[in-house]
Structure 1
Amino acid sequence: MSKRPLILVTNDDGITAPGVRTLISVMKELGDVVVVAPDSPQSATGHAITINSTLHMEKVTIDGAQPEYSCSGTPVDCVKLAVNEILDRRPDICVSGINHGSNSSINVIYSGTMSAAVEAGIEGIPAIGFSLLDYNWDADFEPSKSFVKSITEQVLQHGLPEGVVLNVNLPKLSSEAIKGIKVCRQARANWKEEFDKRTNPMGREYYWLTGKFVNMDKGEDTDEWALENGYVSVVPVQFDLTAHHAIQHLNSWSLNK
């Protein structure tokens, strides 16, 4: 009899977020689940780790019998603690999310959800970050379930190329309205940012970051196009940040004169 896969679940919205509770429920159909997630929201923390303060971790019971640990650190801290302190064997897969809000295009850089998946990938663990294009706390994750399950099953069956994790974004649509799944590239887009400057009652200035997402990419092979047209987007993400195409150009410079 084959052993059930060991599945590590984490997120960046916090261990009680509806998105991660949905992800846990789906993963329990596929294997043995261990949850290690932040004790409070950690959105947009990127690949931050805790080095200048202590980390705390508490075993908790929220729903079901799966082992769950609430961590005071970042999503990346959660993966590091899971691998080094909690699990007695390497997980077969790490899934992160389901994030409340998009992590398509440039958002992958800032995402705590995706950074947790990337950290797992660095550890040699196949990993997927899942996000739903709905920022509401009470978002409807039900239509996402079948797609989350199907993609996870495929990764468990086939594995992933070395150095690659998946960034999966799901449109805010009913199950019937979602047209399917598209493997895409990351759209060339960014945030046009502004700071809303205010003054508090004590006379001290403070700022709120605001901005508008600008998609400069008109390609029909991008994650943004897929999501706008009713598809689930799957982008393979590599964490080797070397711009290999630029090496020859830099070697043409007179760097050693």
Structure 2
Amino acid sequence: MKNKKPLILVTNDDGITAPGIRALISVMATIGDIIVVAPDKPQSAMGHAITINNTLYLDKISKENDTIIEYTCSGTPVDCVKLAVNEILKRKPDLCVSGINHGSNSSINVIYSGTMSAAVEAGIEGIPAIGFSLLDFDWNADFEPIKSFVKKIALETLENKLPEGVILNVNFPKLKEKDIKGIKICRQAKAYYSQKFDKRQTPSGRDYYWLTGDFVNQDKGEDTDEWALENGYISVVPVQYDLTAHHTIQQLNTWNLNE
């Protein structure tokens, strides 16, 4: 039993055909047995959305003799994980990996990210999970320089496990492998989007809006994911789905709420 291959669930938010997930599948296939459940179309910035008012479809796209079993799901990244756990997998996987996302999921991006929400959902299910992202939005982004690091982080996670309720948010700078300085364990940088809506009109005269804006990093700390990425490091941020502001409970207990 000790030599049994780990079972790895692979998902993403860019869709089953995205080069990022194909790169992730190729790496994970060198580590364990793979089950892929991914959206049938791009689902970026879906956050932790789930499908409750529409039907969900799950289609097996691999052949019976394929070594990697793949499914597409009509729903969100979180739907993919839920269906995998409840309808496909015969046992709980040893690891869930999500990505590799085309674009950053560092700092505040983590709360909007479908990539990370899929990993978080796996964490809720008690599965060690990692979200991987590359700071390159190009559909034809080159994932070769980061494959060895993806494998290293996955193997270390399998070996050392993760504390209950903790998920890893891993972001890679867009660099050649030889130019990546290493891996840094970081905190999430304090940042936000300065957003505005570009108001336009359809040919029929109806107003519509296009979201635009700029990323604003307010955090000058050298222990953040943004600093690491800007300085040539891979950032690894442990995140949790318990959103309780524990440090505020004592303060709130001083309020006269029951008088």
The aligned residue for residue 62 of structure 2 is 61
Across the aligned residues of Structure 1 and Structure 2, the Cα RMSD in angstroms comes to 0.9
Q: How does 1:22-33 map to 2 (within 5 A)?
A: 22-33=23-34
For 1:55 and 1:61, locate their aligned partners in 2 and report how far apart those are by CA, in whole Å. Answer: 19
The aligned residue for residue 97 of structure 1 is 99
Cα shift at 1:144: 1.1
1:81-138: per-residue Cα shift (whole Å, max 9, x none)?
A: 0000000011000000000000000000000000000000000000000000000000
The amino acid across from 1:96 in the alignment is: S
- In the superposition, the TM-score normalised over structure 1's length comes to 0.98
- In the superposition, the TM-score normalised over structure 2's length comes to 0.98
Q: How does 1:95-174 map to 2 (within 5 A)?
A: 95-174=97-176
Identity %: 75
1:13-37: per-residue Cα shift (whole Å, max 9, x none)?
A: 0000000000000000000000000
Runs of 4+ in 1 over 6 A off after TM superposition: none
For structure 1, the 5+ residue unaligned runs are none
The amino acid across from 1:92 in the alignment is: D
Find out whether 1:21 has 2:22 as its counterpart. Answer: yes
Aligned residue for 2:37, secondary structure, equals: strand
Find out whether 1:241 has 2:243 as its counterpart. Answer: yes
For structure 2, the 5+ residue unaligned runs are none
For 1:143 and 1:224, locate their aligned partners in 2 and report how far apart those are by CA, in whole Å. Answer: 20
For 1:61 and 1:230, locate their aligned partners in 2 and report how far apart those are by CA, in whole Å. Answer: 38
For 1:73 and 1:238, locate their aligned partners in 2 and report how far apart those are by CA, in whole Å. Answer: 23
Cα shift at 1:67: 0.4
Aligned residue for 2:145, secondary structure, equals: helix
The aligned residue for residue 38 of structure 2 is 37
Cα shift at 1:65: 3.1
For 1:61 and 1:140, locate their aligned partners in 2 and report how far apart those are by CA, in whole Å. Answer: 25
Cα shift at 1:61: 3.0
Aligned residue for 2:24, secondary structure, equals: helix
Aligned residue-pair number:
256
The aligned residue for residue 87 of structure 2 is 85
For 2:197 and 2:45, locate their aligned partners in 1 and report how far apart those are by CA, in whole Å. Answer: 17
